[in-house]
Copies of this chain bind each other. A is one copy, B any other.
Amino acid sequence: MAKVTRDAEATKAKIIQNAMLLFAKNGYEATTADEIAKACSVNKAMIFYYYKNKAGLYSAVMSYALGAIHDEIITTDKCCISPLADLEAFIKTYAAYCDKNPYLSALILRELSDSGAHLPEMMFASLRKLFALFSEILHEGEKQGLFHDIEPMIIYFMIVGTVNLLITTKPLRENAAKMENPLNTCSDCDIDEISEYIFKKVKLMLEVKE
C-alpha cells in the first residue's frame, strides 16, 4: 500500500479554495478558469479534469461552503436546551461563521438574488436544511407558548439576510463613513455586537409578553 500520493486531493482542495474566493469576489460569470488556475498554480485543464466544467466547479464550491456552515451550526447548537437559547445560538453561530468566511455571504446573496440560476439540487437542499432547522426552533418555541405570531421565512430572512448584507457591504459602509456629512452606517460594529443586537431585536419581535 506504500506511499499514498494524496496530490489529487491536495489539488482538488486548492482549486475549491481559490475558486470559492474568486466566485465570491467577482461572481460566477466574471470569474474565469484561467484566473482560478493561476490563483492556485494549477494547470487550467485540471479544473475540468476534476470538476467536469465550470458549473460543476461552482456547484462543488457551493456545496462545500454550505455543507460546512450547516455542520457548524448543527454541532455548535446546544440543541434543545430551550427555544430561546437555540435561537440565540443559531444567530450567533451563523453570524460568526459568515464573518470568518466572508466569501460565503456574497455567495449566498448572489445565489438568492439569482433565484438559484446556477445552483444545483444539492446546494438547494443545503440551504433548505438550514432553514428547516431554524423553522423547527421557532415552531418549538410557539408550541411551548414562548413565541407568537411567527412567520418563519420572513424572520429567517430578517436574520440571515441582514447578517449577510452587513458583511458584504462592510467596505461600502466604511467608505460611506469617510464621506462628508457621514451617516451612521454601523461601519465599525463588530460581528458580536451585530449578532447580539439582532438577537435582542428578534426576541422582542417573537416573545409573548405576559
Binding site for B on A (CB under 8 A): 26-30, 105-106, 109-110, 112-117, 124, 128, 131-132, 135, 149, 151-155, 157-158, 161-162, 164-166, 168-173, 176, 183-186, 189, 194, 197-198, 200-201, 204-205, 209
Closest 9 pairs between A and B when the two form their complex, measured CB to CB:
A29-B29, A109-B113, A153-B186, A161-B161, A201-B205, A157-B162, A157-B165, A161-B165, A115-B171
The answer to whether B184 touches A135 (Cβ under 8 A) is yes
Question: Which of B128, B154, B176, B209 is A186 in contact with, Cβ under 8 Å?
Answer: B154
Q: How many copies does the complex hold?
A: 4
How many angstroms from the CA of A105 to the CA of B30 in the assembled complex?
Answer: 21
Bound together, the chains give a CA A110 to CA B118 distance in angstroms of 14
When chains A and B are docked, how far (Å) is the Cα of A198 from the Cα of B109?
20
* Complex contact B166–A197 (CB within 8 A): no
The CA-CA distance from A186 to B155 in the complex, in Å, is 11
Q: Which residues of B contact A106 (CB under 8 A)?
A: 113-114
Contact partners of A114 in chain B: CB under 8 A: 27, 106, 168
Q: Which residues on B sit within 8 Å (CB–CB) of A158?
A: 158, 161-162, 198, 201
Q: For the complex, what is the distance from the CA of A135 to the CA of B164, rounded to whole Å?
A: 20
Cβ of B131 and Cβ of A183 under 8 Å apart? yes
* Residue pair B116, A151 in contact (C-beta under 8 Å): no
CB pair A112–B184 under 8 Å, yes or no, is: no
How far does the Cβ of A82 sit from chain B's closest Cβ, in whole Å? 21
Q: List 6 A–B pairs whose Cβ atoms lie within 8 Å, in order of A's numbering.
A: A28-B29, A110-B113, A135-B184, A149-B200, A154-B189, A158-B161
Q: Which residue of B lies closest to A128 (CB)?
A: B176
| Most chain B C-beta atoms within 10 Å of own C-beta, residue among A106, A157, A170, A176 | A157
